[in-house]
Chain A
């Protein structure tokens, strides 16, 4: 925490384990290490994307920051205002309550995340009401928010079912922004949407970043979407961050073989770029039973003996990327232009 004024969130050594119980007495027989020592920070006005395949732990990290889950270990230092930093990890429920308004969430499924029996105006106003805002002020703020996300004023008195998926996602965004949060966590906010609508929401998020200086944790699996919205990207694999870098640097000059593999297998929207590369063999490792050493080694074309025995530390490689790979310096990996 060198520059406390700029940092909004600093996650430090976060771990989240789930016990595996078995037998008559339900004794703990093992642990699923969903998140294994994750550290990163987000600056004010910055968007950090957390990417990876299913089971890599990205959503668990997001849920720990929201304190929907209790972390097993580690610190989650959050600055709601400049000069005030609180570790959310050990806080009890009661102490968390006044802080919740500062961290808001945008959900994946715009069909499941809005109460179908509430009018849109009430959905957006609910967080305002909970935080004690008066009726007139609420109405004005709802109007302002509708405008901000590009919905007509008339939306206020209608129900969610009257809206398309893209418009519902706008409603969800308006609600998330109602209390001027310090940090927004967006969990796959565009992956349930059609391409043409997805483009509208991506543009809206970019506009909001510009206009409001949002600080955002953007959890996603789609590397093309991430390239448009993120300032920095952290790639997760089996509970750990394997690479983190400025967006352009990560895509053009990846330093971890897993990042290279992810970039290679994304189906490019250009028939001239048909994948000649071999997709990585095997499947994502089971976090209940991760391979020893680097968890990616069984699938890695560059693995050496050391990778099978020793977990690589996340370290800074020349060029600015941080990578957790024993061979990061010597390997020359391919990115996308």
Chain B
């Protein structure tokens, strides 16, 4: 990837490797996370499965409380207390001799610490919280580089400047000595990306990376993320509540609702023919930049329930316009298989029966 300046932009390149041909680098299966609280245990994740593929972008979308951030934190072993993984596995390099289950590792142990950074990089929503205010951005990137490799200080500094240049920071040899508060939000997020890339991970998890940014800056950062991801063949897990960002960035999409993946599909499939009633309702409720004047939006009745009071059966049934009386209340629909398009909904079965 010699010249990043002439790199293709999103949407103008031939498509990425098809999912079936891409190498699976991380595989989450039936992950369950609980937060034991005074009032009882809150199940934040309830059987989440997903795969990350080299060179592809998995978008994870859902409303607040759906568990999208918890999924990222569970994978990385950085759940907020008192949250803990109570079931399932997180396999790195699944199906190879090096396969290891991250869920079984000590989250604070040396192995896990090494994997964070050198195998899996993390990009936060507000990069300011990811940095210490007391150190220059250079210090922090250099520390990251040196923590994961036997590199001299001068060497690490040279590499840090290179990284800052790569993420599009003007005059990196000067900015490296800036403190985080001296940088704009857009520049801080670029530094955040540089830091995540410092140890050349092959997996990146970006949790709402552009939510705090203005729309022109957001476009620049998404552009940068997509370019780096393509050039380096990174498996990117992009977590966002913004349906527009999903449409622009993702190859595949997992839609989450109350701690479960309710639909998984390629991005075209999801937007052209959404299967789950929640996905359908969600897509219809998005404001449209091409709307006619005073156009009403389709709405979903009610609000997302608190994860502590999960409805019985299918958790979406109280809000579902297509609820099957006597069934969805009592029985949970089968989960979505993580490797093929589908939805966790009894209506799917009915539709399939109709076809066959």
Q: Which residues of A contact B291 (CB under 8 A)?
A: 224, 227-228
When chains A and B are docked, how far (Å) is the Cα of A279 from the Cα of B217? 8
Is residue B288 contacting chain A, with contact meaning CB distance below 8 A? yes
Query: How far apart are the CA atoms of A93 and B55 in the complex, in Å?
Result: 61
B12 contacts A206, C-beta separation under 8 Å: no
The DSSP consensus for interface residues of chain B is loop
B242 neighbours in A (Cβ, 8 Å): 267
Binary A-proximity of B127-146 (CB < 8 A = 1, otherwise 0): 00000000000000000000
Tell me, in angstroms, the Cα distance from A251 to B295 when the chains sit together: 15
Could you tell me if A228 and B244 are in contact, using CB atoms closer than 8 angstroms? no
Docked complex: B171-221 residues within 8 A CB-CB of A: 184, 186-187, 214-220
One of A166, A222, A248 near B293 (C-beta < 8 A): A248
The tally of residues in B whose CB lies under 8 Å from a CB in A reads: 50
Known contacts A196-B300, A228-B297; A275/B11 CB under 8 A:
yes
Chain B's closest residue to A247 (CB) is B293
Set of chain A residues within 8 Å of B296, measured between Cβ atoms = 202-203, 206
Question: Which residues between 282 and 313 of chain B lie within 8 Å of chain A, taking CB atoms?
Answer: 282-283, 285-291, 293-300, 303-304
**Do A199 and B299 touch across chains, with their CB atoms under 8 A apart?**
yes
A173 within 8 A of B: no
Main secondary structure of the interface of A (DSSP, over half): helix
Tell me if A283 is interfacial: C-beta within 8 Å of chain B.
yes
Q: Does B93 contact A (CB under 8 A)?
A: no
Give the distance to chain A from B119, nearest Cβ to Cβ, in Å: 29
Interface flag for A266 (CB, 8 Å): yes
CB of B116, distance to nearest CB on chain A (Å): 29
Residue B9 at the A interface, CB < 8 A? yes
| Interface pair B271/A279, CB less than 8 Å apart | no
Q: Report the separation of the CA atoms of residues A267 and B286 in the bound assembly, to the nearest whole angstrom.
A: 12
Q: How far is the CB of B185 from the nearest CB of chain A, in Å?
A: 8
Smallest beta-carbon distance A222→chain B, Å:
7
- Name the residue on A nearest B170 (C-beta): A282
Residues of chain A in range 41-97 having any CB-CB distance to chain B below 8 Å: 53-54
Q: Is B281 an interface residue (CB 8 A)?
A: yes
Q: A196-B281, A206-B296, A275-B11 are in contact. Are A268 and B219 (CB under 8 A)?
A: no
- Chain A contact-residue range equals 35 or more
Residue numbers in A under 8 Å from B106 (CB-CB):
none
Give per-residue flags for A228-248: 1 if the beta carbon is below 8 A from chain B beta carbons, else 0: 110100000000000000011
Expressed in whole angstroms, the minimum distance between the Cβ of B286 and any Cβ of chain A is 5
**Structural contact, B297 and A199, CB atoms closer than 8 A:** yes
**Residues in B neighbouring A305, C-beta threshold 8 A:** none
User: Quick check: A271 and B268 within 8 Å, CB to CB?
Assistant: yes
Name, among A203, A209, A251, A265, the residue most crowded by chain B CB atoms within 10 Å (CB to CB).
A265
Answer whether residue A223 sits at the interface, using C-beta atoms and an 8 A cutoff: yes
A243, chain B: closest CB distance, angstroms:
15
Contact B294 A269 (CB under 8 A): no
Partner of A198, one of B11, B247, B287: B287
Contacts of A336 in B (CB 8 A): 289-290
- The answer to whether A194 has its CB under 8 Å from any CB of chain B is yes
Out of A196, A206, A209, name the residue touching B63 (CB < 8 Å).
Answer: A196
Known pairs A198-B287, A283-B184 / 7 extra A-B pairs, C-beta < 8 Å: A53-B214, A206-B294, A206-B296, A224-B287, A227-B288, A265-B215, A274-B248
Task: Name the 10 nearest CB pairs between A and B, nearest first.
Answer: A274-B11, A267-B244, A279-B219, A265-B219, A199-B285, A53-B214, A199-B297, A224-B287, A164-B303, A194-B63
Interchain residue pairs with CB less than 8 A apart (9): A194-B64, A196-B285, A199-B285, A199-B298, A202-B287, A203-B296, A270-B247, A274-B11, A283-B187
Residues of A in contact with B (beta carbons under 8 Å apart): 53-54, 164-167, 194-200, 202-203, 206, 209, 221-225, 227-229, 231, 247-248, 251, 261-263, 265-276, 278-280, 283-284, 336-337
